[in-house]
Amino acid sequence: MYRVAVKMIGDKDAVRDIVQEVFVCLYEKGKGTDEINNYSAWLYKATYFKSIDYLKANKRFSKLETIEDRTCQEESYEQKEVKKMIQNALNKLDPKNRFLVVLYSEGLSYKEMAEITEINFASVGKTLSRALKKMEKELKTEYYELF
Amino acid sequence: MNCFNEEIFQKYVDGECSETEIDQIEAHIEKCVECKTNVELLRERSENIKKQINALVGDVPEMPGISTLIKEKKPVIPIRKKLAYGMAAASLFLLIVLFFGKSQQSQPEETILFYNIDYEIDANKPLTEQEMVLYITDENGFGLNNDSN
CATH fold for the domain made of A75-147: Arc Repressor Mutant, subunit A (1.10.10)
pLDDT (mean) for B66-74: 62
Q: Is residue B37 part of a domain?
A: yes
Is A26 near chain B, with CB under 8 Å? yes
pLDDT higher than threshold 70 for residue B65: no
Three-state secondary structure call for residue B137: strand
Walk along chain A (147 residues) in steps of 10 and give the mean pLDDT of each run.
Answer: 82 83 82 74 87 79 51 66 83 87 88 87 87 86 66
What is the per-residue pLDDT across B94-103, written as a single tens digit (0 to 9) for each?
Answer: 999 988 877 7
What is the per-residue pLDDT across B118-143, written as a single tens digit (0 to 9) for each?
Answer: 888 888 888 778 888 888 887 777 77
Domain ranges for chain A: 1-67, 75-147
Q: Is residue B139 part of a domain?
A: yes
Q: Backbone phi, then psi, for B115, in 5-degree steps?
A: -130, 150
The letter for the amino acid at B82 is K
Is A19 near chain B, with CB under 8 Å? yes
What value does the mean pLDDT of chain B take? 80
Residues of B in CB contact (< 8 Å) with A are 6-8, 10-11, 14, 16, 45-46, 49-50, 52-58, 60-61, 63, 66, 69-71
| B16: number of Cβ within 10 Å | 17
What is the per-residue pLDDT across B27-60, written as a single tens digit (0 to 9) for each?
Answer: 888 888 888 898 898 898 888 888 888 887 776 6
What is the per-residue pLDDT across A126-143, written as a single tens digit (0 to 9) for each?
Answer: 888 888 888 888 888 877
pLDDT for position B148: 45
Q: Does the interface ipTM go beyond 0.90?
A: no
- Written as one string, the DSSP assignment of B59-116 is SPPPPPP--S-SPPPPPPPPHHHHHHHHHHHHHHHHHHHHHHHHHHHTSPPP--EEEE
- Structural domain total, chain B: 2
Structural domain for B50, as ranges: 6-54
Q: Which long-range contacts (CB under 8 A, 24 or more apart) does A114-119 make?
A: A115/A38, A115/A41, A116/A41, A116/A44, A116/A45, A116/A48
CB distance A48 to A25 below 8 Å: no
